[in-house]
Amino acid sequence: MPSLRTVLIEDETMFRQLIVSTLGRVPALEIVGAFGLGRPGLQCCLQKKPDLLVVDLVLPDIDGLEIARQVRRELPQIKILVLTAHPSERLPADLLELGVSGYVDKTEPIDYVLSAVDTVRRGGMFFASHVQAKSGRPLRSLPPPVVLKVPLTKRETEIARMASGGLMSKEIALKLNVSLRTVEKHRENLMQKIGVHELASLTRWCIQAGIVDP
């Protein structure tokens, strides 16, 4: 597994230390910078070009969303995971519009951070909070779901939902009690129907189509 070079920006010292300790349990993850302020953390990202940014939403010197916006503009391939103690109904949609891969509510168990990093690393999206996304609000960065000429089958829909949740084909095969080859064939067919070529686009399509919740 390739090393996941990570920058952490979190102003609460104890929580930052807890996150550093938690991320230390992730295989092949290297923390290349941990900051209590946003601006030096942003500068580190632009200089070191990490694979993953974990950033608090509220910082003393610069808004976490602004950091995400600037990092996404300069480093379009970076994965971004937001931490927040102030979730809202519109937050998931706002983050999706910025291309953020997910967020973790700070009131959730710390192991949610591990699950989030694992899901994001695989190309999935992870949104964990006690607050549900407001239904019916359009995600402006996502195209409307394509009206499929050939609709997804029930099994293809199941696999799309599981893949969007970060499960690998081998794990999906075990859950559905089918062969790995069967899962991969269904996955190939459904992505061809939708017209996407990678997992992040599949996940966004599923969210917009209402197959999974943000």
In whole angstroms, how far apart are CA 164 and each of 35, 84, 167?
Answer: 31, 22, 7
Question: Under CATH, what is the fold of the domain 4-128?
Answer: Rossmann fold (3.40.50)
Q: Class of 154-209 per CATH?
A: mainly alpha
Angle between helices 199-209 and 180-194 (to 10 degrees): 70
Instruction: Give the alpha-carbon dihedral of 30, 79, 54, 110, to 10 degrees.
Output: -90
C-alpha to C-alpha distance for 159 and 186, rounded to whole angstroms? 8
The model's pLDDT over 118-167, given as tens digits with 9 standing for 90+, comes to: 888 887 778 764 444 444 443 334 444 455 666 788 898 889 888 877 78
* pLDDT, averaged across the chain: 83
Where in the chain are the domains?
4-128, 154-209
* Predicted structure pTM score: 0.65
Who's near 147: CB < 8 A, 6+ residues apart? none
The model's pLDDT over 86-126, given as tens digits with 9 standing for 90+, comes to: 777 667 777 877 888 888 888 888 888 988 898 888 877 78
